[in-house]
Amino acid sequence: MEVILKEDVIKLGHRGDVVKVADGYGRNYLLPGKLAIEATAANKAVIDQMKASAVRKSAKEKVEAEQLSTQLDALELVFERKVGEHDHLFGSVTSGDIAHALEAKGFTIDRRKISLEDPLKTIGEYHVPVKLHRDVTSHVKVTVKGDQPETEAVAAAE
């Protein structure tokens, strides 16, 4: 089955591309999810309009993403967590936690755009990549601190 993508689909193609997919994948996922339309003769005539619109929309999104990227690069998030031995956290800092902290600072970013391979489980300073656009990736500085003041932590270690 040939379909025309209305949105970017990971590992399949970009908006406006004509791709060949399995019948079930097209009928059960792409078409009901409004991610694609069937590639009929009438719809193929609409492709040029969609591509021009997609280029304009992508350019606008990229400019907005670059502006947001400059704001995020200057941002620092600080998390306090309970700490055990060897600076190992009870719990962790996840992409959801980072998304909530960004939202509290006035940035609405989906947690799926935060490219955190594994949750942060130790104290330290991290630079977490945030994929704002296909071509724009920003890095947010995340600092994870223990919940004990340093003087108590030193006394507890002795």
Give the domains, in start order, of the chain with CATH numbers.
Answer: 2-63 (3.40.5.10), 75-157 (3.10.430.100)
The predicted structure's pLDDT at residue 151: 43
DSSP character at residue 4: E
Are the C-beta atoms of 89 and 67 separated by less than 8 Å? no
CA distance 127 to 129: 7
- Point out which residues pair with 88 in neighbouring strands: 122
DSSP 59-107: HHHHHHHHHHHHHHHT-EEEEEE-B-GGGEEEEEE-HHHHHHHHHHTT-
Residue 53 dihedral angles phi and psi, to the nearest 5°: -65, -40
Tokens found for residue 25: 């994948």
The predicted structure's pLDDT at residue 158: 52
pTM of this structure: 0.62
Radius of gyration of the chain (CA): 22
Residue 66 dihedral angles phi and psi, to the nearest 5°: -65, -40
119: helix, coil or strand? coil
The predicted structure's pLDDT at residue 65: 87
pLDDT tens-digit profile, the chain (158 residues): 999 888 888 889 887 788 999 999 999 999 999 899 888 878 877 777 767 787 888 888 888 888 888 888 888 889 888 888 777 788 888 888 999 999 998 888 888 888 888 888 888 899 999 888 888 888 899 998 887 655 454 544 45
